[in-house]
């Protein structure tokens, strides 16, 4: 049984295809790594990685617009609306006996975030776009680790973990850009 260590390698790939927000991808990749390390230090035994032997964890972020998330929602989820975030938790959603680990590397999947929705939601929630994007990154990582929020109890757990993760790296709702 593996546990997350300081020597565990984290490979996160990102691509921004949304032309109206030139985000600092390195900044958010660094945040995502810190958030992942926090989650695995706090809830590793509850995650999809609990009984897995690994040396490297990898996953992808695609920053896009709500037109793209609407298209993906319709095509893959039979839902006709644009989402702020869509997560393909490939590893967590695969039965344990069918999970694929290559040379010690676990590919958790992909997170798509609609940056136009991030900006809209930030205004609605009266938070900065930076905070809202960080919140969604933390949310997506939880999904990749196998956490969902189908019940009120699960929803409260997810939101509580997100808040703790963001606080652990110094990100607060009232922070200014």
pLDDT tens-place string over residues 13-63: 999 999 999 999 999 999 999 999 999 999 999 999 999 999 999 999 999
What is the tens place of the pLDDT at every residue in 152-172?
999 999 999 999 999 999 998
**Count of the separate structural domains present in the chain:** 1
Asked if residue 130 belongs to a domain, the reply is: yes
What is the tens place of the pLDDT at every residue in 112-151?
999 999 999 999 999 999 999 999 999 999 999 999 998 9
**What is the predicted pLDDT for the residue at 138?**
98
**What is the predicted pLDDT for the residue at 9?**
96
* Cα gap 163→165, rounded to integer Å: 5
Predicted confidence band of residue 2 (pLDDT cuts 50, 70, 90): low
Asked if residue 111 belongs to a domain, the reply is: yes
Contact between residue 21 and residue 115 where contact means Cβ atoms under 8 Å apart: yes
- The CATH number linked to 56 is 3.40.390.30
The dihedral sign for the CA sequence 44, 49, 53, 59 = negative
Residue 176 reports pLDDT greater than 80: no
Asked if residue 4 belongs to a domain, the reply is: no
Q: Hunting for tokens 């959603």 — which residue is that?
A: 93
Residue 5 reports pLDDT greater than 70: no
**What is the predicted pLDDT for the residue at 172?**
84
* Cα gap 52→60, rounded to integer Å: 20
Residue 58: φ, ψ to 5°: -135, 155
- DSSP state, residue 20: T
* Cα gap 84→101, rounded to integer Å: 29
Asked if residue 100 belongs to a domain, the reply is: yes
Range of the domain at 147: 9-168
Asked if residue 177 belongs to a domain, the reply is: no
What is the tens place of the pLDDT at every residue in 52-109?
999 999 999 999 999 999 999 999 999 999 999 999 999 999 999 999 999 999 999 9
**What is the predicted pLDDT for the residue at 135?**
97
Q: Hunting for tokens 């019940």 — which residue is that?
A: 151
Residue 177 reports pLDDT greater than 50: no
**What is the predicted pLDDT for the residue at 12?**
98
* Cα gap 13→11, rounded to integer Å: 6
């Amino acid at each position: 049984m593996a546990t997350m260590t300081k020597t565990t390698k984290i490979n996160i790939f990102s691509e921004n295809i949304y032309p109206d927000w030139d985000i600092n991808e390195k900044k958010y990749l660094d945040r995502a790594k810190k958030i992942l390390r926090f989650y695995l230090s706090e809830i590793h035994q509850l995650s999809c990685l609990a009984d897995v032997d690994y040396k490297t964890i990898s996953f992808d972020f695609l920053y896009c617009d709500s037109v793209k998330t609407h298209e993906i929602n319709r095509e893959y989820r039979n839902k006709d609306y644009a989402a702020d975030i869509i997560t393909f938790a490939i590893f967590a959603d695969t039965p344990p006996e069918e999970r694929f680990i290559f040379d010690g590397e676990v590919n958790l999947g992909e997170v798509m975030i609609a940056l136009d929705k991030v900006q809209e939601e930030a205004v609605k929630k009266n938070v900065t776009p930076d905070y809202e994007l960080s919140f969604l990154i933390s949310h997506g990582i939880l999904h990749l680790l196998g956490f969902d929020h189908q019940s009120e109890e699960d929803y409260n757990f997810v939101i509580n973990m997100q808040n703790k993760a963001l606080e652990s790296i110094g990100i607060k709702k009232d922070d200014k850009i």
